Structure 1
Amino acid sequence: MQISITTNGKRSFIWSAGLVFLGAILFSTKAILVKLAYRWGIDSVSLLALRMLFSLPFFLLVAALSGRQEKYKGLRLGRKDLVSLLLLGIAGYYLASLLDFMGLQYITASLERLILYVYPTLVLIIGALFYRQPITRV
């Protein structure tokens, strides 16, 4: 059975793959750029504030474009959901990024990348050893 891909679908796939590749490249350079910024005397909080400030227009653009789609027209978040999202963003993203940036003051960029990618496996192993949680397939 042969699957036919339309020109629009092919173009969309190429754009998507390109954006994933670009995102991976930019994400991998983050630690190096942070280490270079530390040489200029910028502290972690200021650097993280600049990072969030520069990323804000992209998030606003995505929010504006997704708000135009028909499937999102009737969705509205309540006050409780907005507060929960705000707290989750502060605790989940800001705190993790701040600790990551602060850690880069003490370790190399390559060690930071290694820790970042290995810690889910370490959490799994610690959960199995100390909390007797079985390791299962997803």
Structure 2
Amino acid sequence: MSTNSPYKSHGGFGRLFNALSYSAKGLKAAFRHEAAFRQELLLAVVLVPAAFWVGRDALQVLLLIGVVVFVLIVELLNSALEAVADAVTLEHHPLIGRAKDLGSAAVLLALLFGAAVWLACLYLRFF
């Protein structure tokens, strides 16, 4: 029995093109099916331009944008975990429930961290 997945790519530019295509499909799916991702993306549309005004230097601007992107990444991972869990079963299972709760907790921590960074930079900018 072979342990190699028939779905794994073999490298080259074709692999890069496929990876970009899969990533675009993932972003499109998140936008279409995940309300939380759409809300956080709307927040990003506001916060990314604001980062250039709030940040006092390039490092702060990068940090402000970075935490916004970090929240989006964690939300994507949480959504992926939930999709896999729902594909396994839609019935209540304590371990699947725990996995979903852990993913949700990760999003909460990312949001709290992002809020703390933004508040700290706003404080430095205006006080």
Give TM-score scaled by structure 2 length: 0.34
More helix by share: 2
Larger Rg: 1
Give TM-score scaled by structure 1 length: 0.32
